[in-house]
Amino acid sequence: MPNLIGKSGVLVHTVMPTDLATQWKNQLPVLATPILLWLAELATIKAVEGALAPDSMTVGIGHHNRHLAPTPVGFTLRIHATVVSATAKQIVFDVEATDGTDRILEGTHTRAIVDRNSFETRINHKIAGRQA
């Protein structure tokens, strides 16, 4: 496995109406926390893109983040993810995000490294079991 420590990814995203907490049964028209966490995951995926074996992929297994400030529609986010530790089985990233005015996210995200074919087989077995 290549040394992943220090690899980073940046995701830029402009907050759209579909990203707002009002879509999640909240009355505030600001960026929803679940969307921010999803965008952080995308930044982590981008950080290790092309660095793993072709038959490997990563899946999210943990978030330890704080959503620090509200962000209205139209603001552009910059989400940065950096690998801080990596083993053959998992990768830990520091993640942070800003919206041009405030730091809005800080924390860590952990992803497991899995064999793509084995993972897809596991999903297919689960689906088949439900249909039986």
Domain map (residue ranges) of the chain? 8-131
Res 129: pLDDT: 87
All residue ranges of the chain with pLDDT < 50 are none
Q: pLDDT by residue (tens digit) across 61-83? A: 999 999 999 999 999 999 999 99
Residue 92 to residues 20, 67, 79, 111, 112, Cα–Cα distance (Å): 28, 19, 16, 7, 9
Architecture of domain 8-131: Roll (3.10)
Res 2: pLDDT: 77
Distance CA 40, CA 33 (A): 10
Distance CA 66, CA 73 (A): 20
Neighbour tally for 27: CB within 10 Å:
6
> Angle at the Cα of 39 (from 34 to 45), degrees rounded to 5?
130
- CA 9 vs. chain centroid, Å, equals 11
Res 35: pLDDT: 98
